[in-house]
Amino acid sequence: MGRFKLTIEYEGTRFNGWQFQKNQPTVQGKIMEACREVFNTDNFELYGAGRTDAGVHALFQVAHLDVKTMLAPHIIRMKINDLLPADICILNVEKVSSNFHARHDAVSRSYVYHISKRRTAFGKKLVWWIKDELDARKMGQAAELFEGMNDFRSFGNDDPDEKSTKVKIDKCHIYESETSILIHIVGSHFLWKMVRRMVGVLVEVGRGRITLDKVSLFLNKDSKEPAKYTAPPSGLYLEKVYYKGDKIEEEPLYVLNL
C-alpha cells in the first residue's frame, strides 16, 4: 500500500457534506467512486482532514489515500478528475510517508465566509446576501473577542467525537469591499457548526442587535442563543488545512468578486 496526499476543491451546494453516507451524495463518496474505477479495487482507504456540512465549499481540503498502485501521482490526479463531476476537482496528488495522517497531523485550519452586500444573479450558492446595512467596524471589534483560547460550547453542536469545547482562534478578521464582507478565521480546530454560528453572531452585531458584552457572555456562559443565528452554508469555505512547517497566510486566499 502507498499513501498519497490529495488536495481538493469543491463547490458543496449539491452535496450532503464531505463525509461518506449511504444513499446520499457526498464529496468523499464521489471521490471513492472514482477511486474504485481508477484502481479497479475496493481495497483502498480515503480519510479527510475534516468534515464540512451540507452546502459548504472547500478551496484546499486535504485527504490521504491508501492504495496499492504503480500509477504516478500526476496520473492518479488526472484519472480521478476525469471521473469526477464538475463541482469537485483534485488539485494535487503527492506521495507521502505512511505516517502522514490528513486529520491527526493538521495543526490548524482556516475558513472564509463571504457575505454579499448586494443582490447577485450569479452567486446565490456561493454567498450569503444580507439586505441590511452591516457595521463592519463593530463586527471587527466583536471578531477580536473570539481570538485566543476560549470555550466555544455555546457555538457548537453536541458531537461525540469532540472531547473538549475549548478552541484556540489565532485570527478572526473582517475585510470589507464595496460589494462584500469577508470573515477570515484561523484556528486550531473547529466544533461542528461553530464557524457558522460565529458568523451569525457577528452579523447580528453588525445589525446592531447584539452588543459586544453579549458576545463576551456567550464565551463565558453556556447559551443556546447563538444557534438561532447560524449562518447559511452557502457563504462558507474551508480555506486551508495547515501542517507542521506550513506558513499561515496573513490574508484570505479566497477571492470572489460578485
Strand partners, 3: 66, 96
CA distance 97 to 116: 42
CA distance 110 to 185: 6
DSSP code of 126?
Answer: T
CA distance 37 to 33: 7
Q: Which three cell numbers stand for residue 258?
A: 460578485
CA distance 16 to 50: 14
Q: Which three cell numbers stand for residue 38?
A: 481508477
**Quick check: is 53 catalytic?**
yes
Q: Could you tell me where the DSSP H helices lie in 153-211? A: 194-207
Q: Could you tell me where the DSSP H helices lie in 24-169? A: 27-39, 73-83, 136-146
Q: Could you tell me where the DSSP H helices lie in 7-84? A: 27-39, 73-83
Report which of 151, 204, 191, 147 is spatially closest to residue 173, judged by C-alpha positions: 147
Is 191 in contact with 167 (CB distance < 8 Å)?
Answer: yes
Collect all residues with Cβ–Cβ distance below 8 Å to 245 and sequence separation of at least 6.
Answer: none
3-state secondary structure of 57: strand
* Given 42, 53, 135, 222, the catalytic residue: 53
Q: Which three cell numbers stand for residue 240?
A: 486551508
Residues catalogued as catalytic: 53
